[in-house]
Amino acid sequence: MSQHISFVQREELKNKPSSDALGFGVHYTDHMFVMDYEEEQGWHDPRIIPYGPLTMDPAAMVFHYGQAIFEGLKAYTTPDGTVQLFRPDRNMKRFNQSCERLHIPTIDEDFLLNAIQQLLLKEKDWIPTEEGTSLYIRPYVFATEPFIGVRPSKQYKLLVILSPVGSYYGDQLSPVPIYVEEKYIRASVGGVGEVKTAGNYAASMKAQKEAEAKGYSQILWLDSKENKYVEEVGSMNIFFKINGEVVTPELSGSILNGVTRNSVIELLNYWGIPVREEKISIQEIFDAHARGELEEVFGAGTAVVISPVGELTWKDQTIQVNDKNIGPLSQRLYDTITGIQFGKTEDEFNWTVQV
Ligand code: COI
């Protein structure tokens, strides 16, 4: 797919936020990438235009039946000032897997990556340079056809917006208390849990709010069939270090194939630390703790990178992990992954792509 991307420059550029006031997903850059899909034309009219509101027909199908998917990745500034992405090919591939699952027309992965790179070049001045900051990239697609019969839309919009971000949580590596959810489920096999649909996140909001009201930061989701096996934590993949070995739930069909998840597994293999992808029950985790073998628990995702878990509550039992301190493996993974992302640690895996 080789279409020319047109460009309309914003007349007056926005003021950029200071790096200590970035937060996560609060500020947006001056321009965005937009492209449309019509059945007769396919994906067409790629353009970079000033960031701003969209006009939508109230009958647009996304509002009614939720055909919407997204991706999330980041651009980093390295010490020599170059800008790089971390394993973007994986996000492009998953973007299309998500599209396919919701019967949304896929897009040429190289074209989309190139469009993101062109947008980043236009918005280079927005990429923060301070330690721990980056530019979050959000590509997404949604159904725009004005029609309220139930069938796949015949029209879509694909956008890429950019947001300069600091850490996802205020104190990035501070271990969080989590709570094992038994009333609600995140996803079931055969559903859409293994791809990145907007609806997955919509379905988690109520449970997340209830957990927060009880004083927990995140939810540990169990499988939908037996309410027994661990799946994900909040919007992240989860890892347990038990007696020197690391285990993470296998990709069962309802678990997201996270880019950070895969990077953690590859790093552990490289370091010679045993790691297994398998079904793991919540009972096994509590048993391991009772034997004094549960060493570390952490979430892994693009937004947080690594998020240590300090406390785990299931029914009426609460256990503390590593005395609520950051474990050495969580810290090593965080330092190595962010080191590679920010160009401070040698990228032996060829994970980074220069913009
Ligand atoms: C991630 O970090 O991978 C996420 O999915 C979080 C994002 C939805 C903000």
Taking the CB of residue 57, how many other CB atoms lie within 10 A of it? 12
Answer yes or no: is pLDDT of 350 > 90: yes
Tell me what the mean pLDDT of segment 314-342 comes to: 96
User: Where, residue-wise, is CATH 3.20.10.10 in the chain?
Assistant: 176-342
State if residue 301 touches ligand 1 by the CB under 6 angstroms criterion. Answer: yes
Answer yes or no: is pLDDT of 90 > 70: yes
Grade residue 171 by pLDDT with cuts at 50, 70 and 90: low
Grade residue 224 by pLDDT with cuts at 50, 70 and 90: very high
Answer yes or no: is pLDDT of 132 > 90: no
The DSSP code sequence of 232-292 is: EETTBEEEEEETTEEEE----SSS---HHHHHHHHHHHHHT--EEE---BHHHHHHHHHTT
State if residue 234 touches ligand 1 by the CB under 6 angstroms criterion. Answer: no
Distances (CA, A) of 310 to 136, 164, 189, 237, 323: 27, 28, 29, 16, 7
DSSP SS3 for 181? coil
Average pLDDT, the chain: 96
Distance CA 289, CA 180 (A): 15
Answer yes or no: is pLDDT of 54 > 70: yes
Pick the CATH number of 176-342 from 3.40.50.10860, 3.30.420.40, 3.40.50.1000, 3.20.10.10: 3.20.10.10
User: Structure tokens of 115?
Assistant: 């469009």
Residue 306: name the closest of 166, 170, 173, 167 by CA.
173
The predicted pLDDT at position 45 comes to: 97
Distance CA 343, CA 330 (A): 20
Q: Which residues contact 205 (CB under 8 A, 6 or more apart)?
A: none
Q: Which residue puts its alpha carbon closest to atom 7 of ligand 1? A: 303
State if residue 303 touches ligand 1 by the CB under 6 angstroms criterion. Answer: yes
Q: Among residues of the chain, what percentage have pLDDT more than 70?
A: 99
CA of 73 to the centre of ligand 1 (A): 9
- From 86, 208, 236, 237, give the residue whose CB has the most ligand 1 atoms within 8 Å, as the site to mutate: 236
- From 263, 302, 341, give the residue whose CB has the most ligand 1 atoms within 8 Å, as the site to mutate: 302
Distance CA 262, CA 40 (A): 38
Q: What angle do CA 274, 71, 355 make, to 5 degrees?
A: 90
pLDDT, one tens digit per residue, over 268-282 is: 999 999 999 999 999
CA of 236 to the centre of ligand 1 (A): 7
The predicted pLDDT at position 255 comes to: 97
The residues pairing with 306 across neighbouring beta strands, listed in sequence order, are 300
Taking the CB of residue 18, how many other CB atoms lie within 10 A of it? 9
Greater model confidence, 212 or 131: 212
User: Where, residue-wise, is CATH 3.30.470.10 in the chain?
Assistant: 6-166
From the alpha carbon of 303, which atom of ligand 1 is closest? 2
From the alpha carbon of 25, which atom of ligand 1 is closest? 9
pTM of the model: 0.96
78 touches 342 (CB < 8 A)? yes
Distance CA 47, CA 330 (A): 41
φ, ψ for residue 239 (rounded to 5)?
-130, 145
Identify the architecture of domain 6-166 in CATH. 2-Layer Sandwich (3.30)
Answer yes or no: is pLDDT of 42 > 70: yes
State if residue 128 touches ligand 1 by the CB under 6 angstroms criterion. Answer: no
Q: Which residues contact 254 (CB under 8 A, 6 or more apart)?
A: 186, 187, 188, 189, 191, 193, 194, 223, 224, 231
Answer yes or no: is pLDDT of 1 > 80: no
Answer yes or no: is pLDDT of 19 > 90: no
Answer yes or no: is pLDDT of 258 > 90: yes
Distance CA 163, CA 77 (A): 14
State if residue 302 touches ligand 1 by the CB under 6 angstroms criterion. Answer: yes
Distance CA 48, CA 55 (A): 17
Complex-level ipTM beyond the 0.90 threshold: yes
